[in-house]
Amino acid sequence: MGRRRRAHIIQGLAIGLILLSLIEYGVLIFLRQETHGLSATYYANQQWQGPPALTKVDPEISSAALQQFRQTIPQNQFSIEWQGYIEIPETAVYTFATESDDGSWLFIDDQLVVDNGGVHGLVRKTGNIQLTQGQHPITIRYVQMGGYAVLRLAWQRGQSEFVPLPTEVLRPATIQTVSYRLYQAARLFQPAVLLLWACVLLAVVGGVLILYAKAHAAEIAHALKASPARFLTFFRTHRKQFLIGVLLTLGFFLGFALTYDVPPPGYDAYFFPQKQPESPVVDSKLALTQLFLAVICAYWTMAVVRYVKSRSLRSIFWKDKKIVFWAYFLIATGVFAVWLLGQWPGGMTPDSFWSWDQTLSLSFDDWHPYLYQVYLLMLRQFADSPATVAVFQILLTAGVGSYIFYFCIRQGVNWLYTLPFFLLFITSIPIGVYNITLWKDIPWSLCLVLTAFWIFRLQITKTTTGDRPPITRY
């Protein structure tokens, strides 16, 4: 492929990405639905008949709306009907509850789900229905015969706890369905667009740094192998280039965090966060992440197995100055183990308990990557304690970090330059806490760090993988 043809392909891809981004954010900005809640029709009688006394969109279905309307009519007798759509996050059996004084009814897909009708005090009734993911018509009716006016709504998915029905999943009957579908489709593909831009930014940052490093390869290598004084002289000479590299890297991570990080509830995840009544949609970020991590984990598992099978014990544990690696590894493991002894048997958050319980029931959901549940299930075969996971994470972290420092020394980097970074590595409070906490981020982050370092290693040693495993001579 000629240079001109490659240039045309790159230009075409760049133009395509820009157009895709403009369409994506144009839909997110201009087709965004500004209201949530349900369309309400208030009647000054108990039969939902005659001309309505009030029509509006109620952002929240609650007793406060009833009491506010009560103050506008002379009698304490009225009826209300709310209509619209409910966004169901995933296919399941849902249980709905109404707690009202007096009567209330809840319909979904024109089917009566909760019948809490009649003249009565505060009564709570429930009903369940099988719902598929997506929008469903919903109607809620309430009648006030006298006395207190109370209405509360709640729902439950599967065997989870009852929680108040969030207004974020409710859409008024006046919603523009086509626009809403386009908006939801844009939100579904937003992570893919942002991931493409993150790759472009990473390619630009990495390309600039690699080109500069290649142009000054001999000078950089000599500075790293020389005394600290020589290195400081080299740093002062190239301080502008160092500063540009740092700013580019920080800019990449800042842009990535602003665009791709998990937003607070009710906010969009792009450069100008705005309050928005989003409803649960398919988590395409999770789907892409699961696939990506499964490929990386399978690749590294294969690489380690092939490496062990093709080498003797002496080659694995001693040859090529492996004593340096094992010294770093034992020191790091010992320091990290102190954290585990102080917080035995490890740290767990609500996410951790959720994942841990799933390995007991063998009923996995898609909230966390499936591969992480398999990872926990495998470790529980050794010992049924969170400490097993913490010990394994300590060994992984110590191994990956020690291998990176060992590789630098094998390449001729003065060990004095690695020492402060190694001390920072083993004494870092976040690393110490993360190692003993049951979070999916720990093993995945280590896989990504190892993969990124391997790519860097290919640039340094000028090797290619072909059909060989990524772990070669070192």
**228 within a domain of the structure (yes/no):** no
CA-to-CA dists, residue 49 to 100, 182, 208, 268, angstroms: 21, 36, 72, 41
DSSP 37: S
Residue 147 in this model has a pLDDT that exceeds 90? no
pLDDT band at 469 (very low <50, low <70, confident <90, very high): very low
Q: In this model, does residue 131 exceed pLDDT 60?
A: yes
Boundary residue ending a domain (154, 175, 196): 175
* pLDDT confidence band for 112 (50 / 70 / 90): very high
DSSP type of residue 175: -
pLDDT at 287: 59
Cβ neighbours around 5 below 10 Å, total = 9
Residue after which a domain boundary falls, among 150, 175, 200: 175
Helix 386-410 to helix 370-380 angle, to the nearest 10 degrees?
A: 100
Q: Does residue 12 belong to any structural domain of this protein?
A: yes
Check if the beta carbon of residue 238 is closer than 8 Å to that of residue 216: yes
Are both 128 and 13 inside the same structural domain?
A: no
In a domain, 217, yes or no: no
Around 377, how many Cα atoms within 13 Å sit in the side-chain half-sphere?
A: 12
Instruction: Indicate whether 472 and 330 sit together in one domain.
Output: yes
Are 435 and 294 members of one domain? yes
Identify whether residues 26 and 44 lie together within a single domain.
Answer: no
Question: Quick one: CA dihedral 309, 410, 246, 12, positive or negative?
Answer: negative
Task: State the total domains in the chain.
Answer: 3
* Contact assessment for residue 473 and residue 320, using Cβ atoms and an 8 Å cutoff: yes
Both 24 and 46 in one domain: the answer is: no
- Whether residue 108 sits in one domain with residue 130: yes
| Mean of the per-residue pLDDT values of the chain | 75
The structure tokens 């020690």 sit at 402
Task: Give the model's pLDDT for residue 235.
Answer: 64
Digit-coded pLDDT (tens) for 201-231: 666 666 666 666 666 666 666 655 656 666 6
Same domain, 306 and 434: yes
Higher pLDDT, 203 or 138: 138
Residue 191 lies in a domain: no
Note whether residue 296 is domain-resident. yes
Predicted local distance difference test score (pLDDT) of residue 372? 75
Tens digits of per-residue pLDDT, 242-256?
A: 666 666 666 655 555
HSE (side-chain half, CA atoms, 13 Å) at 402:
21
CATH code, domain carrying 65: 3.90.182.10
Among the ranges given (2-6, 53-57, 149-153), the one the predictor scored with the smallest mean pLDDT: 2-6
109: pLDDT strictly greater than 70:
yes
Q: Of 175, 208, 231, which residue constitutes the final position of a domain? A: 175
316 in the same domain as 441: yes
What are 16-63's pLDDT values in tens digits? 888 888 887 777 777 766 567 888 999 989 888 888 888 888 888 888
Q: Which of 174, 196, 140, 137 is nearest to 57 (CA)?
A: 174
Angle at 345 between CA 344 and CA 346, to 5 degrees: 90
DSSP string computed for 384-433: SSHHHHHHHHHHHHHHHHHHHHHHHHHTT--HHHHHHHHHHHHH-HHHHH
Cα–Cα distance, 213 to 219 (Å, whole number): 9
The pLDDT assigned to 271 comes to 33
Least confident of 246-250, 380-384, 419-423, 444-448: 246-250
**Residue partners of 132: CB distance under 8 A and separation at least 6:** 88, 91
Region 269-275: mean pLDDT is: 34
Q: Are residues 24 and 75 in the same domain?
A: no
Give the torsion sign (CA, 67, 68, 69, 72): positive
CA atoms within 13 A of residue 390's CA, in its CB half-sphere: 24
Question: In this predicted model, what pLDDT tens digit does every residue of 57-104 receive, in sequence order?
Answer: 888 888 888 888 888 888 888 999 999 989 888 888 899 999 998 899
User: Are 82 and 106 within 8 A, CB to CB?
Assistant: no
**pLDDT band at 386, cuts 50/70/90?**
confident
With respect to residue 292, please indicate whether it lies within any of the assigned structural domains: yes
State yes or no: pLDDT of 128 exceeds 60.
yes
With 70 as the cut, is the pLDDT of residue 176 above it? no
Q: Is residue 443 part of a domain?
A: yes
Output DSSP code: residue 167: G
The answer to whether residue 250 is domain-embedded is no
Structural domain including 401 reads 283-474
Same domain, 17 and 62: no
Which residue, among 143, 33, 134, 135, has the nearest Cα to 98 in the 3D structure?
A: 143
Tell whether 26 and 67 lie within a shared domain.
no
Q: List Cβ neighbours of 391 (8 Å cut-off, separation of 6 or more).
A: 340
The pLDDT value given to residue 270 = 36
Residue 378: both structure tokens together: 């495998």
Neighbours of 408 (CB within 10 A): 18
Check residue 273 and give its pLDDT.
33
Handedness of CA 403, 405, 406, 407 (dihedral sign): positive
Report which DSSP code applies to 273. -
341 and 425 part of one domain:
yes
Residue 115 is predicted with a pLDDT of 93
